Amino acid sequence: MIRIDGVTEVTDADFDAEVLGAELPVLVKFTADWCGPCRQLGPVLGAVAAEEADRLRIVQLDVDRNPEITVRYGVLATPTLMVFRAGEPVKSMVGARPKRRLLMELEDVIV
């Protein structure tokens, strides 16, 4: 798994506590080591994590190593970005995108 500054790795074991129990909205990147677009998205998410740290938390989950959460939320493609607020998924996006577009798509879900 590629490490990105400001982006924490979560697993099946700690997903509920780290994501569903979080006070801030959480953007989960469902990713895989073999996924090229996932790697492209890394620097974008690192920049967004730094800029929006007071309004949004960003984590990543490896779909190959964490099948339980991947199946629970019906993730079929990587990268899938899913935003959770108050323990519920409120937005889902598939595919890499540039930072400006991602921030526009997140406007309605981050406070």
Within a domain: residue 13? yes
Within a domain: residue 65? yes
Within a domain: residue 61? yes
Q: Residue 89: give its domain's CATH number.
A: 3.40.30.10
Tens of pLDDT, residues 30-56: 999 999 999 999 999 999 999 999 999
Structure tokens at 68: 């339980």
Within a domain: residue 1? no
Enzyme catalytic residues:
35, 38
CA dihedral 22, 111, 104, 100 (to 10 degrees): -70
How many residues comprise the chain? 111
Res. 2: pLDDT tops 70: no
Res. 5: pLDDT tops 90: no
Read off the amino acid at residue 77: A
- Provide the domain count of the chain: 1
Domain range for 94:
7-100
Within a domain: residue 88? yes
